[in-house]
Amino acid sequence: MFVNTAIYPFISLVFFLNTVLHFPDSIHLMPVTTSDLRVSIPFCKTTGQCRRTKGPYQQTMRLFIQTKPHPVAKHYFPYFQSLNRYYMPLTVFQKLCFRITYPFLLLCLQPFCVSAQQTSCTPVSLKCEYLVNPLGIDAAHPRLTWQLQDTRFDAKQNSYQIIAGTDSAEVSKGAGNCWQTGEVHSATQLIVYAGKALQPFTRYYWTVQVWDKDGHPSPLAPVSSFETGMMESSNWKGSWISDSRDIHLKPAPYFRKTFSLDKKIKSARAYIAVAGLYELYINGNKIGNHRLDPMYTRFDRRTLYVTHDITSALQTGKNAIGVLLGNGWYNHQSTAVWYYHEAPWRQRPTFCMDVRITYEDGSTEIITSGKDWKTALSPVIFNSIYTGEHYDARLEQPGWNEPDFDDSKWKEVIFRSSPSNHIVAQAMQPIRQVEEIPAQSVNKINDTTWVYNLGRNIAGVSRIRVNAPSGVVLRCKHGERLYTNGHVDQSNIDVHYRPTDNTDPFGTDIYILSGKGTETFMPRFNYKGFQYIEITSSAPVELTKESVTGYFMHSDVPPVGQLSSSNPTINKLWLATNNSYLSNLFGYPTDCPQREKNGWTGDAHIASETGLYNFDGITIYEKWMADHRDEQQPNGVLPAIIPTSGWGYEWANGPDWTSTVAIIPWNVYLFYGDTTLLARCYENIKRYVDHITEISPTGLTTWGLGDWVPVKSKSPVELTSTAYYFTDATILAKAAHLLGRKSDYEKYNALASKIKNAFNNKYLNTQTGIYGNGVQTELSVPLFWGLAPDSLKAAIAANLAKRVQADSNHIDVGLLGTKAILNALSENGYADLAYKLASRETFPSWGWWIVANGATTLYENWPIDAKSDISMNHIMFGEIGAWMYKALGGIKPDEEHPGFKNILLQPYFVNGLNQFEVSHQSPYGAIVSSWKRDGKKITYKVIIPPNTTASLKLPVIQKQKLYKNDMLQKITGNSYTENLSSGTYVFELK
């Protein structure tokens, strides 16, 4: 219940009189609230007790001062009870000052209070297809989403209306010529465009208005836009072209074309589809800040095109377009164990481009790729996405991408067939150079050898600036560790490389100087995983610490998670987990950025929750699931790595790895509340599950790799693989239910029960509550994945706890066990023990890497001196990042109300940790869960975003009292549960 804003003046008057009459018993400041209006009260600072919230709280910051709750306020404004209160023991002098100044302050603020309340619900953060104002989307029915800015208690969206049209001025006034939904009574903040059929190459503007919990309309959101691209392959006008060279030729080709424009340009777009990689230039300038475009796909099944706004790059008069093509995964010349060099799609890179220009007079013109382009070889004399890039600066052709360049010596291009029948928009966050990392130190080994240390492990590139004579050759070798003699050691990452000669050294760029002043080199078509760079030159050079810089590259997904705690190891672990997650996100999730760069399925589904808690990565996952659909065999089988040139259909592709097809769409559904990906993958999941059923008639399957890279104990492959088979069947049944496929729902539900029974019959000793031999993975996997019978969960969990204790409170798991162990413990009454494992700093543990080796990323193996599987930037043990959110922060999505429409809130105030705070930007806004221990008292603070609810469960120790916003709460049993509306709450357990 909240009062109508019209009575605010009256309320203020009541407060005014009340304050004057009753001061100093009660002092109330109206909650003038929000980031728009900050009020600074000098007394707060002097007493030091008025804490203003920072960071994630800022949106809901309110200032509210009182000496004790006022009965009138309490009666009329239950809202006030949800606010943070700040108590100020006042001196007589302060009280006097307040008595004089406060009434005036109140009167001054009153108009702000009224206007703030009248516009307190505003739709913000409008996105289309989960992107901000995207260009070149192909979706005929794009998804539109927004958030609410409404800091009031119990803020809700009663209804909404969408306005979409082609005229932004009209849309901003509430009129759209494409779609006007009118007021729709619904709380959803995700809708699918259903207006007039969208036309290609058209910019659409849209806005949304919402009605708040009292039925008051908000203002229209600031107008947002999306622009369609090709939409249909038949809209392409250009031709696929390349040079006439074969796949073995090493130098990368340049392409150019000039043209004249004589009218005033209103807007211009370049649509460029490439098999391989590209850089696009107009009139000498590089277009855009993307790196390694387009993203890797199975090129012969789906090829991506990218749209660039080139309006400001073009000029009236003569123009030149230049394209430099790289090999990427399309023309893989390096030789390694996955046979990319034998990929069925392998060809010299090729592209197709349409430049669409709209003039001020309304006319349009299209410049296309075709026979009128010319080509030549570039100074990029070798490029491999896997190993490195070589550049001979002496071969540069200054001005090659400018209008007046003399290209008379350049060659004709050739027509090529389209690499696939599906040329589709790259509708996702691109790869960028997200962070610049200066070298921390440099070690000059001799006049020609320098070793740089970035101080942290990254994926990306290094850039070198150097001054030396023409012809001097620099080799820049990258690695994650050093030999004792100070040189870069690649022996942990070059093991799968099978070079045929010494011209293509691993992880190494080669630069040949032109001798023309200070030269800069950074590879265009390669990235590496590294911390150290060893520069060797063919003649002595002078370098400084500043000569080399690192650039952290990855898919530029917006961060949506924040975490901090009183334990520095936990904080470092969280950062290391995110560093490894991002180092392994390059348009598809990879295992490691140095040794493989493979889309290993198992690593990715294990890390998907960690990714989703921390980054807004839906666009990457949606693209990668399309890669899955491209790779699936008619019988349902998927390869172990996706995309693949063909390798991986025979090994490591059982359900413990390739359940990505079910688990990732399901997790995306839980985190975004969007069924699109589940629906797109539904038939694929079904074919996949049906295949496992076909080869596993008993309900048990031995298809899989098992608990990869375990500490010591091995668990049966059948146990772990069957758990994933069960998970897939369960997800499929739930998806069937959601998508209204009743008979499938019944069928796969029954299948899930059959698998569960077979699993428990074979592995569970119902007398002892022990699975198999009772090692950690065997006990935690069935608990975590829901195979353990409810009646025996407590016994199994107790056995797991005993097992962990017997293993001297250390983990003894591999990849599949790490997914389960911490969750199985914390979800079943052993959160303290889970934390003990998670925060361990002795071997084997995550903290061991951090403390003993200064790790800034996660490793592939538990011992630091292991002999194999020793990448130092693997995400596969990364579930710990998600566990911190789930158990310490207690934030989980509710599958009944996904997308955090309802939040499951169950933090554990674990022993040994004094403070923990986590926030997650959900589709509805920031969820904050934060707690602090002070002696025996725990203060728990939570923010529930507008238009959502939370099911809170707090652990309560016997005889503890619980206060919610200072009011004593009734507790029955050893936990406190409550359904919370949106707002800010402070609980105290003491």
Q: Which CB sits closer to ligand BGC, 280 or 875?
A: 875
Q: Which CB sits closer to ligand BGC, 337 or 750?
A: 337
Minimum CB separation of residue 431 from ligand BGC in Å reads 20
Tokens at 176, concatenated: 């759209």
Q: Does 603 bind ligand BGC (CB under 6 A)?
A: yes
Q: Which CB sits closer to ligand BGC, 326 or 706?
A: 706
Q: Does 652 bind ligand BGC (CB under 6 A)?
A: yes
DSSP state of 195: S
Q: Does 664 bind ligand BGC (CB under 6 A)?
A: no
Question: Which of 904, 986, 918 is closest to 950 using CA atoms?
Answer: 904
Interface residue with ligand BGC among 129, 227, 591, 778 (CB under 6 A) is 591
Rounded to an integer, what distance in angstroms lies between the CA atom of residue 334 and that of residue 326?
Answer: 13
Question: Which of 986, 927, 987 is closest to 64 using CA atoms?
Answer: 986
Minimum CB separation of residue 629 from ligand BGC in Å reads 21
The stretch among 281-289, 436-444, 458-466, 598-606 that binds ligand BGC (CB under 6 A) is 598-606
Q: What are phi and psi of 679, to 5 degrees?
A: -65, -40
Q: Which CB sits closer to ligand BGC, 229 or 589?
A: 589
925 contacts 147 by C-beta, under 8 angstroms: yes
Minimum CB separation of residue 866 from ligand BGC in Å reads 13
Rounded to an integer, what distance in angstroms lies between the CA atom of residue 427 and that of residue 767?
Answer: 54
Q: Which CB sits closer to ligand BGC, 603 or 627?
A: 603
Q: What b/e sequence results for 217-256 when a residue is b if at least 16 CB atoms lie within 10 Å of its CB, and e otherwise?
A: ebebbebbbbbbbbbeeeebbbbbbbbebeeeebbbbbbb
Rounded to an integer, what distance in angstroms lies between the CA atom of residue 226 and that of residue 130?
Answer: 11
Tokens 């992107």: give the residue.
131
Q: Which CB sits closer to ligand BGC, 600 or 669?
A: 600
Interface residue with ligand BGC among 292, 876, 905, 962 (CB under 6 A) is 876
State the amino acid at position 74 in one-letter form: K
Rounded to an integer, what distance in angstroms lies between the CA atom of residue 762 and that of residue 751?
Answer: 17
543, β-bridge pairs = none
Minimum CB separation of residue 874 from ligand BGC in Å reads 6
Tokens 């019988």: give the residue.
635
The stretch among 203-211, 345-353, 589-597, 843-851 that binds ligand BGC (CB under 6 A) is 589-597
Tokens at 66, concatenated: 């009182």
Q: Does 638 bind ligand BGC (CB under 6 A)?
A: no
Rounded to an integer, what distance in angstroms lies between the CA atom of residue 12 and that of residue 30?
Answer: 8
Minimum CB separation of residue 493 from ligand BGC in Å reads 10
Minimum CB separation of residue 723 from ligand BGC in Å reads 17
The stretch among 266-274, 364-372, 594-602, 922-930 that binds ligand BGC (CB under 6 A) is 594-602
Tally the residues of the chain.
990
Rounded to an integer, what distance in angstroms lies between the CA atom of residue 523 and that of residue 542?
Answer: 21
Q: Which CB sits closer to ligand BGC, 108 or 337?
A: 337
Q: Which CB sits closer to ligand BGC, 820 or 876?
A: 876
Q: Which CB sits closer to ligand BGC, 337 or 957?
A: 337
Q: Does 705 bind ligand BGC (CB under 6 A)?
A: yes
219 contacts 122 by C-beta, under 8 angstroms: yes
Q: Which CB sits closer to ligand BGC, 654 or 769?
A: 654
Count of residues that interact with ligand BGC, criterion CB under 6 A: 11
Minimum CB separation of residue 342 from ligand BGC in Å reads 19
Rounded to an integer, what distance in angstroms lies between the CA atom of residue 136 and that of residue 269?
Answer: 9
DSSP 3-state of 25: coil
692 contacts 700 by C-beta, under 8 angstroms: no
User: Residues with Cβ < 8 Å from 6, sequence gap 6 or more?
Assistant: none
The stretch among 40-48, 371-379, 568-576, 588-596 that binds ligand BGC (CB under 6 A) is 588-596
Q: Does 480 bind ligand BGC (CB under 6 A)?
A: no
Select the residue whose beta carbon is closest to ligand BGC and give its number: 591
Minimum CB separation of residue 496 from ligand BGC in Å reads 7
Q: Does 592 bind ligand BGC (CB under 6 A)?
A: yes
Minimum CB separation of residue 590 from ligand BGC in Å reads 9
User: Residues with Cβ < 8 Å from 373, sequence gap 6 or more?
Assistant: 241, 255, 256, 257, 413
Q: Which CB sits closer to ligand BGC, 88 or 855?
A: 855
The stretch among 226-234, 302-310, 592-600, 830-838 that binds ligand BGC (CB under 6 A) is 592-600
Q: Does 600 bind ligand BGC (CB under 6 A)?
A: yes
Host H or E run for residue 388? strand 388-392
Tokens at 850, concatenated: 């951090």
Host H or E run for residue 819? helix 815-826
The Cβ of residue 635 has, within 10 Å, a number of other Cβ atoms equal to 11
Distances (CA, A) of 552 to 459, 529, 574: 6, 9, 17
Q: Which CB sits closer to ligand BGC, 329 or 672?
A: 329
Rounded to an integer, what distance in angstroms lies between the CA atom of residue 543 and that of residue 547?
Answer: 6
Question: Which of 764, 876, 886 is closest to 824 using CA atoms?
Answer: 886
Minimum CB separation of residue 210 from ligand BGC in Å reads 45
**314-343: contacts with ligand BGC (CB under 6 A):** none
Q: Does 707 bind ligand BGC (CB under 6 A)?
A: no
Minimum CB separation of residue 507 from ligand BGC in Å reads 16
The stretch among 91-99, 153-161, 596-604, 893-901 that binds ligand BGC (CB under 6 A) is 596-604
The stretch among 200-208, 307-315, 382-390, 599-607 that binds ligand BGC (CB under 6 A) is 599-607
The stretch among 31-39, 181-189, 468-476, 597-605 that binds ligand BGC (CB under 6 A) is 597-605
780 contacts 804 by C-beta, under 8 angstroms: no
The stretch among 202-210, 269-277, 428-436, 590-598 that binds ligand BGC (CB under 6 A) is 590-598
First and final C-alpha spacing in the chain: 30
Q: Which CB sits closer to ligand BGC, 793 or 874?
A: 874
Tokens at 191, concatenated: 């809708």
Interface residue with ligand BGC among 176, 507, 529, 602 (CB under 6 A) is 602
Minimum CB separation of residue 860 from ligand BGC in Å reads 6
Minimum CB separation of residue 851 from ligand BGC in Å reads 24
Rounded to an integer, what distance in angstroms lies between the CA atom of residue 272 and that of residue 306?
Answer: 5
Q: Does 459 bind ligand BGC (CB under 6 A)?
A: no
Minimum CB separation of residue 703 from ligand BGC in Å reads 14
Question: Which of 188, 158, 133, 193 is closest to 924 using CA atoms?
Answer: 188
Question: Which of 952, 923, 957 is closest to 940 using CA atoms?
Answer: 952
Cis peptide before 643 (omega within 30 of 0): yes
Minimum CB separation of residue 708 from ligand BGC in Å reads 6
Cis peptide before 844 (omega within 30 of 0): yes
Interface residue with ligand BGC among 300, 534, 596, 728 (CB under 6 A) is 596
Q: Which CB sits closer to ligand BGC, 126 or 709?
A: 709
Q: Does 717 bind ligand BGC (CB under 6 A)?
A: no
Residue window 281-300: x/- pattern of binding to ligand BGC, with contact defined by CB under 6 A: --------------------
Rounded to an integer, what distance in angstroms lies between the CA atom of residue 374 and that of residue 371?
Answer: 8
State the amino acid at position 253 in one-letter form: P
Angle between helix 568-583 and 846-853 (nearest 10)? 100
Minimum CB separation of residue 589 from ligand BGC in Å reads 11
Residue ranges binding ligand BGC (CB under 6 A)? 591-592, 596, 600, 602-603, 652, 705, 708, 874, 876
